[in-house]
Structure 1
Amino acid sequence: MAHSLDEITVIAPHFKRRLSGVTSTVIQLVPEQKRQGLGILTLGPGLPGHLPSMRWAELPGLWKRPKSAPARVWHARRNNEMLAGLILRDLFRMPLKLLFTSAAQRHHSRYTRWLISKMDGVVATNGKSGSFLKVPHRVIRHGVDLQLFHPSDEIDTNLPEDLKGRHLVGCFGRVRHQKGTDLFVRAMIELLPDNPEWTAVISGRVTAEHTAFADKLKADIAAAGLTDRIRFLGEVDDIKPWYRRLTLYVAPSRNEGFGLTPLEAMASGTAVVASDAGAYAEMIVEGETGSVVPAGDYERLRDAISTFLEPQKAMQAGRRAREHVEAAFGLEREADQLAEVYAGLLGTALPHARASSKPATSGTV
């Protein structure tokens, strides 16, 4: 994809090949930022070819300032990306302003704290993550693409025949203990026999180190005689239609950084029951769009799911969920607020920087 570094004011490094929550964020956010007029390029592996990107060989071009600003923003989301920015700015003296987005909900290591202390600006993806930061920061919650994730407006002719006419309850994401897949399966084994109109679907990658974990879940399901009603879909090519097919989505993670799947489900018009890991509790309106329970608390999770296995209640919560996401978690809102941070770091107005609703803050950037 042709581009001129003269017009680029933001570099978004991505130094990881495997899919992660950060990857999902970059894939959704960068096209919206570009659509709004921001000169932005990604750098690194593991991203789809349609994203605007620069090659490693173009790095020397960052010595030259862009036309519209005195420097560029290097927007890091991982330790190695912060370190690379430090080397480029402090060792090679490139005109860069370093910004770090933190999603971690734990105390940072001494090394990470040192890296963060060298940043020109810091963003937290939610209030809980921000509480672990020792530096001034701004809270900017992730948004979701409301065009890509939307309620179904027509009959789904691609739904497998044996799932048609069923109410589906789903759990998506990597199949592993951290994600709480076992809690979901346990709840389904207990609840589905008394709710014959429901079928559970599980989608996500099973990596080699978690194969035994997944096999144990399948064995438990078979022992309960529910293999036809608790279905493993594997890693599907396009998860978006599956969100629309659900009546209820469950996010039972034991720990999480931010976690986009509840937002994607709610944007698709689906009610959500989630743990309080990540930013889930900041997304869901209790009793209105779904429910939040303590992470790792099986009984509370099971009971919350049971409450929403009344189809009319779940569907009403799903409609409210879409309205809530439209009002508070649109991707455009996240892009606008980041544009304000970029403009503040560069000391100049970026082309698409617009006033947005006042965000939660702690300190300043």
Structure 2
Amino acid sequence: MTQRIALRDIFFLFAAACLALLPLTGQAQSTVPRAPSVEARSYILMDARSGHIIVQHNADQTMPPASLTKMMTAYIAEREIQSGNISLQDQAPVSVKAWRMGGSRTFLKEGTQVAIDDLLRGIIIQSGNDASVAMAEYIAGSEDAFADLMNQQARALNMNDTHFMNATGWPAENHHSTAHDMARLARAIINDYPEHYDIYAEKEFTYNGITQTNRNLLLWRDSTVDGLKTGHTDEAGYCLVASAKRDEMRLISVVMGTASEQARAQETQKLLTYGFRFFESYKAYSANDVLANPDVWLGAANTVRLGPQKDVQLTVPRDSADRLQADMTINPQLRAPIEKGQQYGTVTIRLDDQVISETPLVALESVEEGGFFSRLWDHIMLFFKGLF
């Protein structure tokens, strides 16, 4: 059974409904110009809500991520805080290994103890290698063991082209990631632990009497930018994962392998400007919206409510939402028992003739088998309808 609806209208569809088509005529076609030229070896622009990729180039090419690695270090720390395994007030010891780390530093002192809250800010704002190692050792006992946690988490986030050897991004063989995977990680940081996300927008942090500023220049240049992380090594070039929110739309940009600190900010700004100017986020349906109410045979109830289990978020060219249409395909002859959360159909969303989303329609309630006589009657009806 297939039904079509315009997404501007939310329908309660019943079992006897036939194909319903709302034609859209006279709509002006949106014009989306070519994406800007970006001077980076690899880059991607993603809608944080839908996960839709607006622009990409070499986004799945493996490259050294440099200090972008610390996004995963911070993510695991945030996960451990959320789960109650550690707290922001815990005091982590500073080992000789952490103290001796070169490169960007929070200037921890060997033999002292540092609050997890300070380590988290040292990692995110100052890009402290010493803070990253101290955090890794506190959570997992050693940096090597922590790297195993990082790789497990990468697989859980479908970062399939990423492998970590350390918590800092210090150059190491087989330590690599991609722009696409870094965008996936940024999306997880934003969506999974929003209570910690404000740290990524902080412009400076003082520890041990030393104030250091966030290296993300866009925090000063664009008030809508509120994260996330910079990185640089000779091999990786200058890298930046940035996120910005304007109105109801949040974008994630990743550039890897740019020529300078200024270049990574400039090329990121190009991507963000393009995305916000020519695209918009659109919620087609909310979780648990009732989109269909088909018949159920042999059940204690005669119908079942079907809808999406999660919000259906889309990324579309601006002013094109009126041209969205949806086809709903529902499994024929639904028979009890019906299990809540089980898929019994699909809603396919198109912009003009292009499929842009396919979402399972699941049962929003369970329907148990009916009594003996009601099931007997349904069997008789199915027999005469030739559906038995």
Query: Larger RCO: Structure 1 or Structure 2 (Cα < 8 Å, ≥ 6 residues apart)?
Result: 2
TM range (shorter): under 0.3
More strand by share: 2
TM-score under structure 1 length normalisation = 0.24
More helix by share: 1
TM-score under structure 2 length normalisation = 0.22
